[in-house]
């Protein structure tokens, strides 16, 4: 889905106005799986990857 915006996902997954780092990591982990409009910021990529790996096989 690289480059494609999942507008429905964005409508239902608003980033909080002042997100904590944890909220941003969770948002980007879900976002990267659902939408390809932009990449994960470099400053968060390690945490997002770890979260994805920890949740990858739960469903
Ligand atoms: Zn997106």
Q: What gap in Å lies between CA 31 and CA 23, rounded to an integer?
A: 12
Within 10 angstroms of residue 39's Cβ, the number of other Cβ atoms is 12
Give per-residue pLDDT as tens, 1-50. Answer: 457 899 999 999 999 899 999 999 999 999 999 999 999 999 999 999 99
pLDDT at residue 57 tops 90: no
pLDDT at residue 59 tops 80: no
Q: Which residues lie at CB < 5 A from ion ligand 1?
A: 35, 37
Six-digit token pair at 10?
Answer: 């964005």
Question: What is the 57 CA–ligand 1 centroid distance (Å)?
Answer: 23
Question: What is the 40 CA–ligand 1 centroid distance (Å)?
Answer: 10
Which pLDDT score, from 0 to 100, does residue 1 have?
46
Kindly write down the DSSP assignment for every residue of 34-57, as one continuous string: H--SS---HHHHHHHHHHHHHHTT
The model's pTM is 0.84
Give the dihedral sign, CA 51/35/2/28.
negative
């Amino acid at each position: 889905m690289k480059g494609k915006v999942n507008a429905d996902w964005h409508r239902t997954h608003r980033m909080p106005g002042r997100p904590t780092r944890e909220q941003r990591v969770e948002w980007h982990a879900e976002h990267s799986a659902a939408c390809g409009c932009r990449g994960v910021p470099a400053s968060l990529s390690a945490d997002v990857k770890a979260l994805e790996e920890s949740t990858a096989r739960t469903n």
